[in-house]
């Protein structure tokens, strides 16, 4: 029995003493970075870094005071920031990285590679681009209940992506799309408005170079093709002309040429299949269903005829918008929707697209777009 007690205390002391062997980290002594921004330095090849950290003191919680530092690389800028704060900077809680437009236009892969190599950085970090230098975005003073602007940006993106407005843009997604032949990465674009950070659209990349932005309206169609909606929302403009006869019951004669219709609870599914016809030919089939939430003109929704007309016209409009979007990507030569991967998944050998061929041929890709829509309900009124 005595032996057992002795043994127990021996083991206990080992357990207690050995925990001291590893490095200790006192929470209050750490500068926990939540968001980092990188810009091109003013002179030469320098990278200008902005770092937002947690503050544990109660009184200071509403003041945004980013740490700035510049270095030759992103890692260097981070490393040199140690001299600008009394806390030990750590990256384990990094939630978002913002790249300034100048830097992003030159390519962000070298900077992403450092992030990826760092085991402490999560793969779920949001990668974003800003319209103005990132230091201005991170200098925003309004960040609602969030403890700092970094967390605010994270919550903002979480909310926007959760609402199915834009596609996911984690570090993992970006790296995956960058490294894959046949698809280009996309990221959200951040801007600043009345001292608060906002999402303005999606940034299209060619490889790792930021090329252009599309607005949130167009971003809807990116998602429509790439992903499926479970509860999306869409506003569409339709010509009044065809519907005049159904509007007469409500108002004499509408003057506007067009009216708006808003769809909610959109469920969608898309299917992209390459076709072998000597050219790079793709058929895009989209099934789309939802509820009417808003009409700017009153329509007789009782009649089946109107519903069918609406369905048909909406489908046509969506097809138009998609082909506009695709034309835009072809002009910019960015295959953000990844048609190249669909091609390569179907064909092997000589027909497979190499990286160069894909870049060269993408502007000549041909698309057949076929959208079918269905209106399920029209709210709680007729």
| Contact set with another protein (CB under 8 A) | 18, 21-23, 92, 119, 122-124, 170, 172, 175-181, 338, 341-342, 344-348
Nearer to another protein by Cβ, of 243 and 342: the residue is 342
End-to-end Cα, the chain, rounded Å: 83
| Closest approach of another protein to the CB of residue 315, in Å | 26
Nearest to another protein of 316, 346 (CB atom): 346
Q: Tell me the C-alpha distance between 119 and 142, whole Å.
A: 32
Nearer to another protein, 105 or 180 (CB): 180
Which class for 45: exposed (0-12), middle (13-18), buried (19 or more C-beta within 10 A)?
A: exposed
Measured CA angle at 90 (ends 86, 96), to 5 deg: 120
Residue 179 CB, shortest distance to another protein, in Å, is 4
Closest distance between another protein and the C-beta of residue 172, in Å? Answer: 6
Contacts of 99 by beta carbon, 8 Å cutoff, 6+ apart? 37, 38, 39, 108, 111, 127, 128, 129, 130, 134, 210
Shortest distance (Å) from residue 180 CB to another protein: 4
> Given the complex with another protein, which of 2 and 117 has the nearer CB atom?
117
Nearer to another protein, 48 or 362 (CB): 362
Alpha helices per DSSP H over the chain: 2-18, 74-80, 101-106, 109-117, 134-137, 149-162, 171-179, 216-226, 244-247, 304-332, 339-346, 355-361
Minimum distance between the CB of residue 176 and another protein, rounded to whole angstroms? Answer: 4
Contact 166, 227 (CB under 8 A): no
Q: Is 188 helix (H, G, I), strand (E, B) or coil?
A: strand
> Closest separation between CB of residue 346 and another protein, Å?
7
Distance between CA 88 and CA 83 in Å, rounded? 10
Which is nearer to another protein, 92 or 379 (by Cβ)? 92
């Amino acid at each position: 029995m005595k032996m057992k007690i002795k043994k127990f205390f021996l083991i206990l002391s080992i357990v207690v003493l050995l925990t001291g062997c590893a490095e200790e980290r006192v929470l209050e002594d750490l500068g926990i970075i939540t968001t980092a921004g990188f810009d091109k330095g003013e002179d030469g090849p320098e990278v200008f870094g902005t770092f937002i950290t947690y503050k544990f003191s109660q009184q200071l919680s509403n003041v945004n005071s980013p740490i700035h530092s510049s270095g030759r690389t992103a890692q260097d800028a981070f490393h040199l920031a140690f001299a600008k704060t009394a806390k030990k900077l750590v990256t384990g809680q990094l939630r978002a990285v913002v790249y300034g437009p100048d830097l992003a236009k030159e390519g962000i892969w070298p900077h992403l590679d450092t992030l990826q190599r760092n085991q402490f950085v999560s793969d779920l970090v949001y990668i974003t681009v800003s319209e103005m230098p990132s230091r201005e975005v991170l200098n925003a003073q309004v960040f609602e209940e969030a403890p700092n602007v970094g967390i605010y940006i994270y919550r903002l993106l979480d909310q926007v992506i959760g609402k199915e407005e834009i596609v996911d843009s984690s570090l993992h997604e970006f790296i995956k799309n960058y490294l894959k032949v046949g698809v280009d990465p996309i990221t959200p674009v951040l801007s600043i408005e009345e001292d608060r950070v906002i999402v303005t659209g999606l940034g299209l990349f060619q490889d790792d170079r930021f090329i252009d932005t599309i607005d949130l309206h167009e971003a809807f169609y990116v998602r429509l093709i790439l992903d499926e909606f479970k509860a999306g929302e869409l506003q569409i403009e339709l010509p009044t002309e065809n519907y005049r006869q159904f509007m007469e019951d409500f108002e004499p004669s509408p003057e506007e040429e067009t009216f708006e219709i808003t769809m909610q609870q959109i469920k969608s599914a898309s299917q992209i299949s390459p076709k072998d016809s000597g050219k790079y030919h793709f058929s895009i089939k989209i099934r789309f269903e939802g509820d009417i939430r808003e009409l700017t003109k009153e329509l007789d929704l009782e009649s089946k005829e109107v519903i069918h007309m609406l369905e048909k016209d909406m489908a046509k409009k969506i097809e138009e918008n998609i082909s506009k979007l695709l034309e835009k990507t072809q002009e910019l030569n960015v295959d953000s929707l990844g048609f190249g991967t669909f091609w390569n998944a179907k064909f092997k050998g000589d027909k497979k697209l190499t990286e160069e061929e894909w870049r060269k041929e993408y502007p000549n890709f041909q698309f057949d777009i076929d959208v079918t829509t269905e209106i399920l309900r029209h709210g709680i009124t007729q």
